[in-house]
Amino acid sequence: DLRKSMAHTFLFEASDRDTRQWLEEENSHLPHSQFGEEFHVYYQPLVSLQSGKIAGFEALVRWQHPERGFVSPEEFIPVAERTGLILPLGMWILREACRQTRLWKTQFGQNAPSIVSVNLSGKQFVQPDLVAQIDRILQQTHLDPRSLKLEITEGVVMENVDRTIDTLRNMKALKIKLGIDDFGTGYSSFSYLSQFPTDTLKIDRTFISCMEERPENRAIVQTIVMLAHTLGMDAIVEGVETREQWQQLREIGCEYGQGYFFSKPLSSREATALLASKPRW
Ligand code: C2E
Ligand code: CA
Ligand code: CA
Ligand code: CA
């Protein structure tokens, strides 16, 4: 049902390659066409835990369906992956996030967020022309590649390690940043982890939520932060909801955090207003 509704929304079926390509081209010239009507990219601040300042944003897609209302990405991303619709949608999200980040650069200069972090689904990750497509979007939006980070979940990077290393290296050649997402929820082989050219490790929020009640969880978080540092990566935590958690995570030496304590995901307009207010938590 959701699948049908998505296909209807996009006015095409996933198998129709020409339409898909057309839509891609179309969207590259008209940023607000088609997807932009119902889909929106929201931005959640990534905060430096030391300084309390915004270091960047994570781009998170939102779907406002005309009849169903708000549909959660937890619900529609898996459907989009199964149907292949994630490919054009994912590229639209990436382009939109790059476009907005470039806009902030012009608007805020030195005070612009230095990173936008975009989620990449497993299906996108294995596309043979992925790196070329990312490169094209960077060219089209004139965004400095060093301002873009792609988040790939632990589950996806561990699926086929040899291919992963290849793909990550090709991405790295574009000078973009790479982050492992939802760390701790899958099965990582530490020997492989050290071979990935990734910049950050993001600790899943399940470890943070009960950190105060259960000392084991604090120890686990501390261990993952140390692991990240040993591998030459910065650590990020998601799901920071209280000041106490922020304090603890800062003591542990975790570099960045995101969560409702700092801010929920914001529309581009709200995020722009937030940036203009030069927030410091
Ligand atoms: P994720 O990548 O792990 O994103 C973090 C999720 O945690 C977001 O949910 C965010 O709103 C939520 N969150 C942030 N801070 C807090 C907090 O303090 N407490 C709690 N309880 N939650 C917090 P969201 O936006 O609903 O997205 C859910 C998942 O859907 C994402 O998990 C990601 O896997 C997927 N997703 C979202 N946007 C995209 C996208 O643009 N592309 C792809 N491929 N996947 C996306
Ligand atoms: Ca993420
Ligand atoms: Ca995550
Ligand atoms: Ca998650």
**Ligand 1: centre distance to CA 187 (Å):** 20
pLDDT of residue 253: 97
Task: Determine the distance separating the centroid of ligand 3 and the alpha carbon of 108, expressed in angstroms.
Answer: 28
Question: What pLDDT shows up at residue 35?
Answer: 73
Is the Cβ atom of 181 under 6 angstroms away from ligand 1?
A: yes
- Strand ranges (DSSP E) for the chain? 39-48, 54-65, 69-71, 115-119, 148-153, 177-183, 200-203, 234-238, 256-258
Distance 84 CA to ligand 1 centre (A): 20
| pLDDT tens digit at each of 281 positions of the chain | 666 666 555 544 434 455 455 455 545 544 444 677 789 999 999 999 999 999 999 999 999 888 888 999 999 999 999 888 899 999 999 999 999 999 999 999 999 999 999 999 999 999 999 999 999 999 999 999 999 999 999 999 999 999 999 999 999 999 999 999 999 888 777 888 999 999 999 999 999 987 878 888 899 999 999 999 999 999 999 999 999 999 999 999 999 999 999 999 999 999 999 999 999 99
**Residue 119 in contact with ligand 1 by CB distance below 6 A:** yes
Ligand 1 pocket residue status of 270, Cβ below 6 Å:
no
Q: Are strands 234-238 and 200-203 parallel, antiparallel or unpaired?
A: parallel
Phi/psi of residue 234, each to 5°? -85, 150
**Could you tell me which of 39, 41, 71, 37 has the C-alpha nearest to residue 59?**
41
**62 residue type, one letter:** R
Between the alpha carbon of residue 56 and those of residues 33, 44, 92, 271, the distances in Å are 26, 8, 20, 11
Stated pTM of the model? 0.91
The pLDDT assigned to 32 comes to 42
**Among all ligands shown, which has an atom nearest to the Cα of 150?**
2
